[in-house]
């Protein structure tokens, strides 16, 4: 019996843990500790930590790797923990585009741009629900961040800027292979030269937040086999300076996403990797992080049920059909939305139509797509995602579309094209827009896919997570990337997620390394 | 030193508390316990509770009073705690309308209605973000609940049903005095006959959730003087069966609402009473309740900055101006929205226009309003909320509207009226719609006001709050009313909040009383 427990006055929570920690630690070591559903009190600080680092980074996407890199460079000892078999999360499968406002490439092309303009675009897309100070940070650091990926990480980009819906000017850098892997691989490479290699199959099971309010470490399952609950061995890792949560979004977590948006059931596919689940976010809320804007979940309207994940469907649905064809409700044979409206409007319209919609075009629209994306169109055909029909009747039969209304729809559209105005839905007409027909016709089944979760943990501009009781920073806890909320508001602008992850990942890493060690 | 503490194996959290509780209790008694920002661990169970009830209800609006009534009738001992000086919360100042789908009054009027139709209307308004099982519960119990308010509480309603935007049929019962006070007063009266009188000036400061995951009581400040932090004396109250959180929404809480929707700054007024703040909701999240849909906050587009709270502005803005006049952006002199669009669309449009908008009409529009609401129009004039101008020029000068564009706007509108179609915004034209002019003109400054917070604590159909780690019910914790989320989805349909509060308040009360006492 220690001295403290004999004196009620000095019987603090922490002293209690010193005496009782052995029980918990024993439980952890054998993996038998039965945690209570609400386990803050059932999981006291471990008496002995099995490993110690200055900075413990959870997640190995853009944000986690950026945090680890900055923390390590600042002299901290760092571990990166990743629950999946391989590092990279959603980042390694993303499209590899990053916006920079006021970049050398823009200057070369004579494009006038500024962080202010990017911020304006982000706020417009975000329906002004963005936390402005966070969005501003991302916009302000866009050029320096992209330059950093080139000069310090060695990322290779294409020589030409591109533009996506919602951006005022072409400002997107695209990686040479059109994939985020070109960034992640360089991050991994550079980290390795610093001696940091992400530990995979390491699932976060608890964040230890002590009675003094400080986060002091994590419990993980080492050797975890996703998604097998209980696999792997429990281990306690001390974070002498800070824990960085960079665990991504919850697009692949049906239970949590349906709580926030009940339409997003298991029937709905996602562009995300299967590990994009909410357990770390739930844990953050359990220890008192402030939840914000969780019900804003972005759907890609250009998905198809006939291929998994992101797939290639966006190329056909957008370029061939939305620009040079029509989107049709198969139940009615009619158009149901402005095919060039924003992602949210179109996705909502498809869901409202019971996901019974196709994107279609004629030979001309298909040829335009094939010219621009030579390799993709044949692949879409080979995979059966896009199908060819000789006649309109044949296409109508394939999707059970009532033929006469469909013919009427095309006739109305063709009149609009000739008149130079889409009276029906107000769609922007292309300069080389032509009336549709005759066949062959090309069609793709549409199904919106869960793409990005805008909400999450509330943070400040220092990437500190805030406490739900006080809105003040939680000592020893940083966060970055899709697990946080606020940067993008209601709707994320394309090519700004990568930027967000890199900007706030670096901030989190630097600030975590600068924390005073607690023990 | 007790026996338990000598044996590490038996050193459970609860036993520890038995020995250390005296410290905490002493702190509580003297009001000197300094709670940590994250206080789950810093606030162990009290050793001695100063009072004990079966069911502790927090909040005294529709939901809290309904819960208290059912719990008491089921034989439980009950206390109702209210932080403000007087009971009733937002409920006592609300409009006093309750929907019932399939009611005797509908039958008398030959109106075909059903719970299914009400549910359909609720889901359409809620953009299908509603938790369907919760919305269904409300719709299914709508008739029995309104009948209960009549037969058991003695609430008096007008003899004629009314209809609001979004409802398929007229199905709204209106209290005789057009105020929720007609319901609250009857609830208070009936509770009093059962021996329950709400204790006012009693602020919830903590919910005690024990290491076993069960909620066991609350800490309050007795004699609290809203909004004076630290006023009143701390007291621990044991809830032998359950705590019911019925603490309302957070429309008046600038800090918490701007986290979820940064547009809703302090410059924005609210229709809510000043006590509609988030501290109880934050506390619910701190102890592990699941947060849902917090960023869906309803604004009333018909508010005016020239009167406080709800005021009378909706009558003029809606009836006189939206139906028989125009809404105009004072910066441009132009219309900026379909004046009869839903609340969300209109409120968003006003905010986008920098809150520089007026609702205006001519002598004819004013006369129509005055005929229907004889007492309100003169009051609006007396208070200076609506102002009269002899000429259009005079009105334009008063609001710094550019005159020529304003004249053009009216000319365009008048042409639309004569043509029978509003080409510009697609507004529905009234049967007795007439071109505007000549003067006098009447105008009111528009400013959306924060009206209802749709998100909150996640609950199941038994009104049990769920745990963020597991989505399972938290033992001993019920919730009802605006503090919960899910029933209304993205946008609440008018006259369904009162119903929601009464339905789930009663469910919470009944189930709380049926809980097994823990000690």
**Per-residue 3-state assignment (H helix, E strand, C coil) for A271-307:** CCCCCCCCHHHHHHHHCCECEECCCCEEEECCCCCCC
The model's pTM: 0.87
Residue of B nearest to A214 (CA): B38
The whole-number pLDDT of residue B78 equals 98
The whole-number pLDDT of residue A43 equals 58
B226 inside 8 A of chain A by CB: no
Instruction: Please choose, from the candidates B231, B233, B199, the residue with its C-alpha nearest in 3D space to the C-alpha of residue B219.
Output: B233
Residues of chain A with CATH 3.50.50.60: 50-301+451-519
B17 inside 8 A of chain A by CB: no
The neighbour count for residue A36, using CB atoms within 10 Å, is 18
Give the position of tokens 């009149």: A415
Residue of A nearest to B468 (CA): A282
Residue of B209, B343, B427, B492 marked catalytic: B343
The mean pLDDT of chain B is 90
Region B168-182: what's the mean pLDDT?
Answer: 92
Cis amide bond preceding B438, omega within 30: yes
The whole-number pLDDT of residue A101 equals 98
Buried-state track B331-347, b at ≥16 Cβ within 10 A, e below 16: bbbbbbbbbbbebbebb
Between the CA of residue A312 and those of A21, A78, B36, what are the distances in Å? 53, 38, 52
How distant is the Cα of A111 from the closest Cα of chain B, in angstroms? 28
Are residues A294 and B290, on separate chains, in Cβ contact within 8 Å? no
Residue of B nearest to A259 (CA): B292
Region B79-86: what's the mean pLDDT?
Answer: 98
- Per CB-CB distance under 8 Å, the chain A contacts of B23 are 8-9, 11
Q: How far apart are CA A320 and CA B269, in angstroms?
A: 48
**Residue B163 near residue B106, CB atoms below 8 Å:** no
Are residues B295 and A22, on separate chains, in Cβ contact within 8 Å? no
- Beta bridge partner(s), residue A456: A292
Buried-state track A408-446, b at ≥16 Cβ within 10 A, e below 16: ebbeebeebbeeeebeebebeeeeebeebeebebbbbbb
Domain B38-300+451-519 has CATH 3.90.550.10: no
Residue of A nearest to B460 (CA): A259
Q: How far apart are CA B473 and CA A417, in angstroms?
A: 57
Instruction: Please choose, from the candidates A42, A345, A12, the residue with its C-alpha nearest in 3D space to the C-alpha of residue A211.
Output: A12
The whole-number pLDDT of residue B374 equals 79
Q: How far apart are CA A515 and CA A474, in angstroms?
A: 12
pLDDT at B101 over 80: yes
Calculate the CA dihedral of residues A177, A181, A187, A191 and round it to 10 degrees: -130
pLDDT at B155 over 50: yes
The whole-number pLDDT of residue A9 equals 35
Are residues A285 and B468, on separate chains, in Cβ contact within 8 Å? yes
Q: How far apart are CA B59 and CA B480, in angstroms?
A: 10
**Residue A139 near residue A128, CB atoms below 8 Å:** no
B112 inside 8 A of chain A by CB: no
The tens digit of pLDDT for each residue in B344-385 reads 889 989 999 999 999 999 999 999 988 877 788 899 999 999
- Per CB-CB distance under 8 Å, the chain A contacts of B426 are none
How distant is the Cα of B279 from the closest Cα of chain A, in angstroms? 8
The whole-number pLDDT of residue B22 equals 32
Are residues A5 and B1, on separate chains, in Cβ contact within 8 Å? yes
From the centroid of its chain, how far is CA A48? 36
The whole-number pLDDT of residue A429 equals 87
Using a 10 angstrom Cβ sphere, with 0-12 exposed, 13-18 middle and 19 or more buried, the burial of residue B363 is: middle
Give the position of tokens 């059970």: A400
Instruction: Please choose, from the candidates A259, A221, A316, A278, the residue with its C-alpha nearest in 3D space to the C-alpha of residue A28.
Output: A221
Helix (H, G, I), strand (E, B) or coil at B344: helix
Region B201-205: what's the mean pLDDT?
Answer: 97
The whole-number pLDDT of residue B249 equals 98
Which residues have C-beta within 8 Å of that of residue B325, sequence separation ≥ 6? B339, B359, B360, B361, B362, B365, B436, B442
The crossing angle, in degrees rounded to 10, of helices B181-193 and B62-73 is: 30
pLDDT at B46 over 70: yes
The whole-number pLDDT of residue B236 equals 97
The whole-number pLDDT of residue B237 equals 98
Assigned architecture for domain A50-301+451-519: 3-Layer(bba) Sandwich (3.50)
Residue A405, H or E segment: helix A403-419
The whole-number pLDDT of residue B373 equals 77
The whole-number pLDDT of residue A34 equals 33
- Beta bridge partner(s), residue A477: A243
pLDDT at B158 over 80: yes
- Per CB-CB distance under 8 Å, the chain A contacts of B470 are 37
- Per CB-CB distance under 8 Å, the chain A contacts of B255 are 471
The whole-number pLDDT of residue B43 equals 58
The whole-number pLDDT of residue B318 equals 87
Are residues B286 and A469, on separate chains, in Cβ contact within 8 Å? yes
Radius of gyration of chain B, Cα coordinates, nearest whole angstrom: 26
Instruction: Please choose, from the candidates A444, A399, A166, A398, the residue with its C-alpha nearest in 3D space to the C-alpha of residue A303.
Output: A444
Which residues have C-beta within 8 Å of that of residue A194, sequence separation ≥ 6? A69, A72, A73
Comparing B323 with A456, which gets the higher pLDDT?
A: A456
Per-residue pLDDT of chain A (519 residues), as tens digits, is 333 333 333 333 333 333 333 333 322 222 223 333 334 444 578 989 999 999 999 999 999 999 999 999 999 999 999 999 999 999 999 989 999 999 999 999 999 999 999 999 999 999 999 999 999 999 999 999 999 999 999 999 999 888 777 788 889 999 998 899 999 999 999 999 999 999 999 999 999 998 888 999 999 999 999 999 999 999 999 999 999 999 999 999 999 999 999 999 999 999 999 999 999 999 999 999 999 999 999 999 999 999 998 889 988 998 899 999 999 999 999 999 999 887 888 999 999 999 999 999 999 999 998 887 778 889 999 999 999 999 999 999 999 999 999 999 999 999 999 999 999 998 888 889 999 998 999 999 999 999 999 999 999 999 999 999 999 999 999 999 999 999 999 999 888 999 999 999 999 999 999 999 998
Class of domain A302-447: alpha beta
Q: Residue A469: which of B213, B282, B291 has the nearest Cβ?
A: B282
Give the position of tokens 């991302």: A138
């Amino acid at each position: 019996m220690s001295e403290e427990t004999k004196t009620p006055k000095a019987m603090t929570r922490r002293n209690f843990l010193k005496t009782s920690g052995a029980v918990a630690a024993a439980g952890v070591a054998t993996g038998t500790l039965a945690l209570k559903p609400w386990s803050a009190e059932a999981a006291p600080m471990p008496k002995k930590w099995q490993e110690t680092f200055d900075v413990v980074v959870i997640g190995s996407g853009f944000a986690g790797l950026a945090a680890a890199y900055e923390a390590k460079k600042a002299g901290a000892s760092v571990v990166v923990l990743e629950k999946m078999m391989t590092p990279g999360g959603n980042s390694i499968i993303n499209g590899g585009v990053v916006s920079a406002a006021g970049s050398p490439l823009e200057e070369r092309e004579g494009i006038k741009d500024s962080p202010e303009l990017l911020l304006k675009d982000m706020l417009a897309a975000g329906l002004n629900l963005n936390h402005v100070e966070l969005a501003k940070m991302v916009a302000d650091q866009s050029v320096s961040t992209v330059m950093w990926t080139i000069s310090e990480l060695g990322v290779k980009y294409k020589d030409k800027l591109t533009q996506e819906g919602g951006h005022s000017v072409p400002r997107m850098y695209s990686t040479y292979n059109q994939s985020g892997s070109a960034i992640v691989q360089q991050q991994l490479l550079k980290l390795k030269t610093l001696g940091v290699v992400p530990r995979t199959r390491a699932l976060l099971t608890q964040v230890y937040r002590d009675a003094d309010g400080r986060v002091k470490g994590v419990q993980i399952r080492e050797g975890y086999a996703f998604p097998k609950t209980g696999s792997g061995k429990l281990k306690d890792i001390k974070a002498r300076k800070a824990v960085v949560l960079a665990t991504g979004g919850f697009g692949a977590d049906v239970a949590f996403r349906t709580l926030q948006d009940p339409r997003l059931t298991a029937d709905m596919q996602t562009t995300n990797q299967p590990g994009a689940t909410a357990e770390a976010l739930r844990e953050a809320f359990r220890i008192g992080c402030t939840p914000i804007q969780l019900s804003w979940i972005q759907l890609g309207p250009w998905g198809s049920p006939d291929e998994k994940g992101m797939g290639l469907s966006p190329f056909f649905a957008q370029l061939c059909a939305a620009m040079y064809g029509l989107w049709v409700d198969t139940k009615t044979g009619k158009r149901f939305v402005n095919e060039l409206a924003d992602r949210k409007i179109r996705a909502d319209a498809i869901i409202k139509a019971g996901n019974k919609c196709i994107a279609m075009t004629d030979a001309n629209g298909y040829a335009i797509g094939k010219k621009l994306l030579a390799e993709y169109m044949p692949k879409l055909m080979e995979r059966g995602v896009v199908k060819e029909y000789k006649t309109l009747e044949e296409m109508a039969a394939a999707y059970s579309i009532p033929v006469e209304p469909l013919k009427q729809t095309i006739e109305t559209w063709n009149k609009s094209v000739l008149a130079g105005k889409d009276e029906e839905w107000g769609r922007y007409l292309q300069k080389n827009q032509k009336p549709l027909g005759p066949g062959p016709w090309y069609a793709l089944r549409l199904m919106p896919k869960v793409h990005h979760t805008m909400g999450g943990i509330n943070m400040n501009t220092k990437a500190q997570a805030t406490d739900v009781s006080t809105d003040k920073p939680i000592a020893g806890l940083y966060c970055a990337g899709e697990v946080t909320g606020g940067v993008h508001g209601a709707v994320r602008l394309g090519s700004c997620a990568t930027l967000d992850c890199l900007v706030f990942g670096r901030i989190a890493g630097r600030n975590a390394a600068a924390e005073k060690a607690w023990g």
